[in-house]
Amino acid sequence: MTVNRQWQLVSRPEGRLEESDFKWVEGGLDPLQQGQVRVRVIYLSLDPANRGWANEEPSYREPVQLNRVMDGIAVGQVEESKHSGFKKGDHVQGLLGWQEYAALAGEQLTKLPELPVPLTAYLGVLGHIGLTAYFGLLDVADPKEGETLVVSAAAGAVGSLVGQIGKIKGCRVIGIAGSGEKCRWITEDLGFDASINYKSEDVYERLEETCPQGIDIYFENVGGKILDAVLARMNRYGRIPVCGLISQYNATEPVPGPYNFVRILTQRLKVQGFIVMDYLNRSDEAFQHLAPWLMEGRLKYRLDVREGLQNAPQALNDLFEGANQGKLILQVGPES
């Protein structure tokens, strides 16, 4: 009998999530219903947003229910299908969850194309990460050649792509990241024009040095003190796509707003939040550019692949400590 192992969410985390917020459950597989597809999970994406999904308050989506499998985006292979659109062996992506086997309606799955790229690319540049970077920068911020773009969490999955797309569009790109090694990678290997190590340097002063013409676009991934320092240097009619605010996802107290909020008024800034799900119906438009950029070597990425579903809760926490080197992925099962 095939056993399915999964992590169920059993309590709402307070601050940093703990392994005790989850229960390790082993059980059999339910019979497949008409229209459903059984998928063996291969790679699970660990995303900062997963932390928010465990909260009780609904945000842009319903919270994960207690005593149910934790949600997570993953890629896997079809084991059994009762849906005409899928057959055994197909590779698919969807909200498969923190488990080894998922049974979902075919409509909830996307069949992956047969491109000469690793399967992991579909959780990164050719998946939700690529869409986030592409539409957040190009649709929300509309960059122009010669403009100055600053991106935070710049060595991370989204940020590293944003900076490279910014370079493709002719921007001057400055990345803010949390270690010397990450700063070196984005400038020497990815072609960012400058970097700022927010843990060892004064961000405000370094922005003054690295952005002598001011900042036209700030791609916001973190919030907090970095946002305030950037606001102080924003140019008139600047744009701030608010992609994420990772510095506050584990907060247990209300988070104060930016001190430099007034700059939104005086500099006529456009500040717009966005959620990648809103762009899913335009994904072909993005992939038609992202895929060739990837094949041509104009987009590079790093993967941080961990082994074993059992390590999911601890690995997710690494995102909040900057302990990931690029897109954080958990290998749940073998590729074939």
Q: How far is the CB of 198 from ligand NDP (least distance, A)?
A: 6
Instruction: Please select the residue that binds ligand NDP; options are 153, 203, 215, 316, rule is CB under 6 A.
Output: 153
Cβ closest to ligand NDP, residue 9 vs residue 315: 315
Q: Which stretch binds ligand NDP (CB under 6 A): 18-26, 112-120, 156-164, 260-268?
A: 156-164
Asked if residue 316 binds ligand NDP (CB under 6 A), the reply is no
Q: How far is the CB of 156 from ligand NDP (least distance, A)?
A: 2
Report the C-alpha gap between 131 and 274 in whole angstroms. 11
Q: How far is the CB of 80 from ligand NDP (least distance, A)?
A: 31
Q: How far is the CB of 210 from ligand NDP (least distance, A)?
A: 16
Q: Which residues pair with 25 in a beta bridge?
A: 6
Report the C-alpha gap between 8 and 25 in whole angstroms. 7
Report the C-alpha gap between 66 and 87 in whole angstroms. 32
Instruction: Please select the residue that binds ligand NDP; options are 17, 96, 158, 173, rule is CB under 6 A.
Output: 158
# residues near ligand NDP by CB under 6 A: 27
The distance from CA 326 to its chain's CA centroid, rounded to whole angstroms, is 10
Question: Which parts of 42-71 interact with ligand NDP (CB under 6 A)?
Answer: 47-49
Asked if residue 155 binds ligand NDP (CB under 6 A), the reply is yes
Q: How far is the CB of 147 from ligand NDP (least distance, A)?
A: 21
Cβ closest to ligand NDP, residue 162 vs residue 332: 162
Q: Which stretch binds ligand NDP (CB under 6 A): 5-13, 107-115, 255-263, 317-325?
A: 317-325
Instruction: Please select the residue that binds ligand NDP; options are 274, 285, 289, 300, rule is CB under 6 A.
Output: 274
Cβ closest to ligand NDP, residue 289 vs residue 302: 302
Task: Draw the binding track, 220-259, toward ligand NDP (x: CB under 6 A; -: no contact).
Answer: -xx--------------------xx-xx------------
Cβ closest to ligand NDP, residue 92 vs residue 153: 153
Report the C-alpha gap between 134 and 124 in whole angstroms. 12
Q: How far is the CB of 130 from ligand NDP (least distance, A)?
A: 10
* β 215-219/327-331 pair status: unpaired
Residues engaged in binding ligand NDP (CB under 6 A): 47-49, 132, 153, 155-159, 177-179, 182, 221-222, 243-244, 246-247, 274-276, 319-320, 322, 324
